[in-house]
Chain A
């Protein structure tokens, strides 16, 4: 964030920003609140006015990669230990010197080799100081060192609104005595967090986690060790992001009627919807179907998925695997709201694109790019195209990402037919809405099968 927002201010002609130091204390602290703690503390020696300002900033934001880097070399074990000790000392002393009472943000990026025992005390301090946003990115470098566990007292941090956990942190809350209560939590991001290895315990931990967050709006998780079956029932959920890295063996039954944004990448088997998502605006879906899966099974799954997504306005869809060529026209009803479709095309999913186009009467913008290449001979099929189904609103069409091959794209614009012969890799066409009746593609590469435009 800070990087992208890096702005081009520099001292004026005479090298001064007039009076900025004269701003009231509260505004100077507000400026400091946009800086990592390291930079905030560095302002303490600007002048006596600034000496203690940083202690009033209700934020701790420290990254072990930026601290203690200059004196010590990275690959020496002793130095590693020393850096751990130094970092721990820095965090503790910052917390001790802050005068601001309540803590807005506690953000820590910490790669360490030996000793994470301090974390417990810091989190207790943060919870006692009514922390609202907690962001931990922890990496235990030494495999002999035990993963971090969050202190049980932390699981009832009532003030927490944002919780982001990344890395080697164990989430094991399958202890009956453990109360779990985040009544204010709206945003929960779990990235590569480790759940208990026993499935039963894993399922219970996960469910207790979710049921302890009654006002959750934004849930995001990436995992490669999740197993078992889960019911994700969160009536308040608006954003849901699931990233499945290594084809985890889990199944989520999702019941989140308020969902506005859905982002999933993984195995088709992993998600299951029962209801149409009436409030859905945007969906990014990357789906993989295994070859050995029974045809009826995935037809039914795809049908359920598209029924759930039927109200979507912006859809990005990437169907992977070889089975998509014979999914057939199983889509529930037309996507009346769909205005933007971003499709990753492969040898085998070409028919899916076609069916989607035929079921999107209000589509305005179409983006077709190349998906993951799959070698297959299954998809040499000619498809029937009915131009009456195609959106008459299409105004923007982008086609690209197919490197190397010569491409011919056929555009049929109302009664004028245009052939585009392309040697490059992409093009972008803005079509005037009145002129555009339908688009047909004929691409003479091996990447895309024979689809002949209606003559």
Chain B
């Protein structure tokens, strides 16, 4: 794999866009990266349209609902995503293999506790690939697992009235069969 992180998308201009998070951190990112965040793209396009006549362009975009920690992770993910795409422009299969490999390694460095804020940030930024990726990661982690395991994983306790849980367990008995050992 060649190291081309400097220019993930060779066709785009290397304009920088500045993002300001809720905890007042400032990130300067490539336009190609920022445009993957549809919320940013929308803001950027609107700004540009408004400024066509005056000729000025504000490139500081405030993100009041995103903290710096998840944003930094999403930017890293996005850069790599664009790079893998550019490196395998013709070969979808190779691209998927590279992407899967990267995502597997990526998750090793993500604490389960970070997932909630990552999902919220990806959702707010409307960055679909990342949103699907993190949601899929949560889904895979609970697939074929016992109710007790999933409760522990999500950090929640049953708040059913006595007897209600048993009733549900009986109604959907087929869905609790054959789960993995915890």
Contact = CB atoms under 8 A, between A and B. Distances in A.
Contacts, number: 150
A144 interface: no
Interface string B103-129: 010011011110110011001000000
Given A7-B141, A39-B142, A39-B143, A18 B150 contact: no
A12 B107 contact: no
B12 interface: no
A67 B177 contact: yes
Interface stretch (A26-34, A368-376, A423-431): A26-34
A21 B159 CA distance: 13
B116 A17 contact: yes
B177 A70 contact: yes
Interface residues of A, number: 50
A51 B147 CA distance: 13
Contacts of A90: 174
Which of A4, A21, A42, A313 has the most chain B CB atoms closer than 10 A to its own CB? A42
Interface string A41-59: 1111111110100000000
A41 B172 contact: yes
Given A12-B112, A282-B91, A6 B135 contact: no
B137 A7 contact: yes
Interface string A83-104: 0001000100000000000000
B15 interface: no
A16 B160 contact: no
Contacts of B140: 2, 5-7, 9, 34
A175 interface: no
B154 interface: yes
Contacts of B178: 66, 69-70
A38 interface: yes
A42 B157 contact: no
Contact of B135 (A19, A30, A36, A48): A30
Contact of A39 (B123, B169, B175): B175
B17 interface: no
A45 B168 contact: yes
A68 interface: yes
A185 B11 CA distance: 32
B165 A45 contact: yes
Contacts of A314: 90-91
Contact of B158 (A8, A10, A32, A47): A47
B141 A46 contact: no
A281 to B, nearest CB: 5
B158 A45 contact: yes
B92 to A, nearest CB: 8
A117 interface: no
A27 B136 CA distance: 11
B139 A31 contact: yes
Contacts of A6: 140, 143
B135 A27 contact: yes
B153 interface: yes
B147 A7 contact: no
A334 B88 CA distance: 24
Given A7-B141, A34-B139, A44 B119 contact: no
Given A17-B154, A27-B135, A41 B143 contact: no
A5 to B, nearest CB: 6
Given A7-B137, A36-B143, A46-B147, 9 more contacts: A9-B107, A12-B111, A16-B152, A18-B116, A20-B154, A34-B139, A45-B172, A70-B177, A281-B90
Interface of B: 90-91, 100, 104, 107-108, 110-113, 115-116, 119-120, 123, 131-132, 135-144, 147, 150-160, 165, 168-169, 172, 174-179
Interface of A: 2, 4-12, 15-23, 27, 30-36, 38-39, 41-49, 51, 66-70, 86, 90, 281-282, 313-314
Considering the complex of A and B, which 8 residue pairs feature the smallest CB-CB distances, nearest first? Answer: A16-B155, A34-B139, A9-B141, A41-B175, A17-B112, A42-B175, A31-B135, A7-B140
